[in-house]
Amino acid sequence: MRFFVSALVSFLALANNVFAKSGTGDSVLVVIDPSLKKEDYSKFFGGLEERGYQLTFRGPRDAHPPVEQYGIPGFSHVILFTPETKSYASDITPQSLVGLLSENTNLLVTLSTKQTPLSSLSAEFSLIPPPPGTPLISHHPARSEPATVIPIPVSESPLLTPGTSPVWFSGVPHAFGNSPYLVPILRATSESFAADSLDDSGADALVDASEKAGEGLWAGSHLGLVTGFQTLKNSRVVFAGGVEMFSDEYANKALPDGTPSGNEKFVKDITAWAFRETLALRIDNTTHHRAGEEVPPETYTTNDQIVYTAHISAYDPKTSSWKPYSGITDMQLEFTMLDPHIRIALPPVAGEPGKYQVQFRAPDRHGVFKFVVDWRRKGYPLLQTSTTVPVVPPRHDQYPRFLSAAWPYYAGAISTSVGFFLFSALWLAGDVEGKKKKGLKTE
């Protein structure tokens, strides 16, 4: 009976992880500014709860529940709906948020025209925030909403559902640094720009600002509005330029041409990416052995034919499980000793889902080599693995033998052996004649 009870308890404890919606857990902390009402975002939060996440709400100045305690994060994901908060409780600082990312917690951060600790945090992620007080405005397309509420067409991206309708946006843009770990999700339209003027007389101020700032005007499609960042620990952050994008009002608002907006679907897609439901890959295991064998040997010899295999799976949010994934076509394997000696493609094996295999010849050099797979692509997690193997030169008896150039030497040595044997046999078998002469002399 006690065994069953303890088994049930441990099953339930583990089931929390097994039946989680995301590969990393489903507890979400939502830090929401007291000026924002939870009910205004009911569609967004309701959608998250429907997908299996457990939400906990608190204000920025509440001390409880803390985002992390004694270095251990309390939640798998954190949403910061605090675009204008300038002071937080002591557990939320830019350093603690970066620490959360190192501990595999994902973040969703919203920004606004005010300078907050979160906008200086975004600068650490290779995003350049605009001058304070300059929201994004656009006069195109003609619409009845004010110029600060803009419908933005959603471009193609592996993160987003194809065919998502334009989304309503209100907030600030940001410019990109050159980090390749940034994943631009939503970019501003060509006709939009960041400005603080409210009527046509601000035109001169716009031109003056662009001439003064030295970096040009904050305008055009090189500005980002919603951007993700993939960290080296494979946790993800999404920086959104405004919090109204998540609200019910924008989800229900119709676009200028009458069709419904894509806000609900867009917001669902970006949280699915941020919380590692979609585009989540991992390496299950790697093996290596000589061609023709199955078990890895202790050491390889130079010029051996080596076969390297990797198994990769992707997280399937519909079944909450990791399924084999053969969709990576450009993975490469490096056989490295200080520098890569060999770099070849690691293609998927047709007919065996999730298996990637390649065969190659070990280099002439002996030494300690590593099998290195380091695959990084925008929006995808980093797939990295490294296996160390020794490669030794051939033993004294592993060199080629019985070469045609040695025939004269074989002939000589064999002649010597045969000659010795023949001589002993003939000497033992032969006749002796010397004694007759002596006999003749004495007579």
Partner 1 sequence: MVPRIALHFTWLLLAVCVHAGSLLLQNPRFTITSSTAAQLRADTLSLTEKPEPLKLEPSDTLKLTFQITEKSEGKGVQPHQTFLRFYDSVSGEEGIQPVRVTPGGKAKFELNMARPPASLPPTTDHPLEVSLILGSFVHEPTTFDLFDLYVPSSYTPVPHPDEAKFHKLPLIHHTFRPEQKLPPKFVSAIFAALVLSPWLVLLGLWSKIGVRVPHLFSPRIIPFTVLLGAFEALLCWYWVDLKLGQVLLYGGILAIPTIFAGKTALAATGEWRTGKN
In the window 235-264, what residues touch partner 1 (CB under 8 A)? 256-258
104: left (phi over 0), alpha (psi -120 to 50) or beta: left
Q: Which has the closest alpha carbon to 377: 336, 331, 343? A: 331
**Of 108-116, 219-227, 241-249, 289-297: span binding partner 1 (CB under 8 A):** 219-227
Q: Does 9 engage in binding with partner 1 (CB under 8 A)?
A: no
Among 141, 260, 393, 394, which residue interacts with partner 1 (rule: CB under 8 A)?
A: 141
* 368 counts as binding partner 1 under rule CB under 8 A: no
Q: Which two tokens stand for residue 110?
A: 């919203």
Distance CA 41, CA 43 (A): 6
> Quick one: which segment of 110-118, 206-214, 276-284, 317-325 binds partner 1 (CB under 8 A)?
206-214
**Is 190 a binder of partner 1 (CB under 8 A)?**
yes
List the one residue from 206, 283, 337, 358 that touches partner 1 (CB under 8 A).
Answer: 206
Min dist. Cβ of residue 76 to partner 1 (A)? 27
What is the H or E stretch that residue 180 is in?
Answer: none
Residue 300 exposed, middle or buried by CB count within 10 Å (0-12, 13-18, 19+): buried
* 3-state secondary structure (DSSP) of residue 43: helix
Instruction: Please report whether residue 421 would count as binding partner 1 according to CB under 8 A.
Output: yes
H/E element, 145: none
DSSP H helices, 214-352, are: 248-252, 263-274
Tell me the site size for partner 1, rule CB under 8 A: 78
Separation between Cα atoms, residue 255 and residue 371, nearest integer Å:
53
Is 345 near partner 1 (CB under 8 A)? yes
**Is residue 175 near partner 1 by the rule CB under 8 A?**
no
Contacts of 364 (CB under 8 A, 6+ apart): 302, 303
**Please, what is the Cα angle at 196 between 254 and 41, to 5 degrees?**
35
Contact residue for partner 1 among 64, 212, 395, 435 (CB under 8 A): 435
What is the smallest separation between the CB atom of 395 and partner 1, expressed in angstroms?
12
Residue in 98, 181, 358, 366 binding partner 1, rule: CB under 8 A? 181
| Contact positions with partner 1 (CB under 8 A) in 121-140 | 138-140
398 scored as a contact of partner 1 (CB under 8 A): no
Name residue 89's amino acid: A
Within 145-164, which residues bind partner 1 (CB under 8 A)?
147
Give the interface segment with partner 1, choosing from 43-51, 102-110, 346-354, 400-408 (CB under 8 A).
400-408
